[in-house]
Amino acid sequence: MSMKYYEFDPSHYVSAPSLSWDGMLKMSGVRIELFTDMTMHDLIKKVKRD
């Protein structure tokens, strides 16, 4: 199904969640940008759970 619907080869993925994540990004058209502001980076790092 993933080959037809998403045009992804499942053998290139370690897990189903990683395949699903890429499928979600492709179908939604969302582009994830890198943090360029160090203040934002520090804030995210501070509130992130370990």
Tens digit of pLDDT for each residue in 1-50? 667 877 888 899 999 999 989 999 999 999 888 888 999 889 988 998 76
Distance CA 48, CA 41 (A): 11
Residue 35: predicted pLDDT: 81
- In the numeric block, which tokens belong to residue 35? 């943090």
For residues 49 and 17, give the distance between their C-alpha atoms in angstroms, rounded to a whole number.
20
The model's pLDDT over 19-30, given as tens digits with 9 standing for 90+, comes to 989 999 999 999
Alpha carbon 12 to its chain's center: 15
